[in-house]
Copies of this chain bind each other. A is one copy, B any other.
Amino acid sequence: MDKTKQILADYAARIDAILQDIMNIEENAIADTLISAMKYSLFSGGKRLRPILTILVAELLEGELDSAGKAGAAIELIHTYSLIHDDLPSMDNDDYRRGKLTNHKVYGTGIAILAGDSLLTYAFHLLSQLKIPAERIVKLVGLISEGAGYNGIVGGQVLDLEAENREIGLESLQEIHLAKTAALFRSAILAGAFCAEPTEKELAALARFSEHFGLTFQIVDDLLDVIGDEQKLGKKTGSDKVLNKATYPQLLGINGARASAEKSAALAKESLEIFGSKAAILNDLADYIIKRQS
């Protein structure tokens, strides 16, 4: 476990260096506050899981690591934008994330919305500047805009808002989680694959992996909101209950939810069997996210 943690930290440091480089734009920017607000949330201690997955998959398939790093960074920008907008008063109304005040608590709601808009737009700009064949860039833009769009994180967030104060079943909850969380994991994982030359079989395996991985991640997220340690999480727990949101623990109980997460993680690992021992780190990662405490 500690070994996985160390590997993740090393990869995260690589991503952070790319993000620092990408965000080194103050000098030519017309609005300093905007860049400052974008950076505030981007550099607030994210785990960089999505770009790490992009790089790990590109390594697995012996693809272009430089492009994978940058494509992963673009996805991290999109992930950050979605968190800023999710936290807004008209959405989940959260004051803290990762132990720091949320973007709108520091910059005000107007600037927070615009910082999110700008991160999303800049992500696509970065993709357009990649030094890889244009066909591949177009593939990445298509893939990432799909995971982020009306049937991905935005659609999932709408379903999530609509599910507040309503009773929903396990199937609907899974639909929300697949869109809100698993879709962008899918984009991150397949983006890594498209930095190489994947076979159809490899793509299908990775798509299955991403779905199970995303679900596992989200079930654990639900669990941590009930039984997590506020200090380690850097945010208040119990927020799902306040918003009267359906969650896995609510529908299945704590033990049921944990069993469900473990089953999901096992399925994620099973999806990677065709890669054999080359997928060891991805397997470790699936174990890791089950045991994570933040």
Q: Enumerate chain A interface residues (CB-CB to B < 8 A).
A: 25, 28-31, 33-35, 38, 81, 85, 88, 90-91, 108-111, 113-114, 116-118, 120-122, 124-125, 127-129, 133-135, 137-139, 141-142, 145-146, 148-151, 154-159, 161-162, 175, 179
User: Are B90 and A110 closer than 8 Å at their CB atoms?
Assistant: yes
Contact residues in B for A117 (Cβ distance below 8 Å): 81, 85, 116-117, 120, 154
Contact residues in B for A30 (Cβ distance below 8 Å): 150-151, 155-156, 159, 175, 179
Task: Say how far A267's CB is from chain B's closest CB, in angstroms.
Answer: 22
Number of copies: 2
- In angstroms, Cα B238 to Cα A177, docked, is 45
Contact residues in B for A122 (Cβ distance below 8 Å): 145, 149-150
Contact residues in B for A179 (Cβ distance below 8 Å): 30
- Give the secondary structure class of A's interface: helix
Task: Say how far A154's CB is from chain B's closest CB, in angstroms.
Answer: 4
* Contact A158 B124, CB 8 Å, known A90-B113, A113-B90, A137-B134: no
Contact residues in B for A85 (Cβ distance below 8 Å): 113-114, 117
Contact residues in B for A120 (Cβ distance below 8 Å): 117, 120-121
Residue in contact with A141 in the complex, picked from B118, B127, B156, CB distance below 8 Å:
B127
- In angstroms, Cα B88 to Cα A76, docked, is 26
Contact residues in B for A124 (Cβ distance below 8 Å): 124, 141, 145
Name 9 A/B residue pairs within 8 A (Cβ), A-sorted: A29-B150, A110-B161, A111-B161, A114-B161, A121-B150, A129-B142, A133-B134, A134-B135, A138-B138
Task: Say how far A31's CB is from chain B's closest CB, in angstroms.
Answer: 4
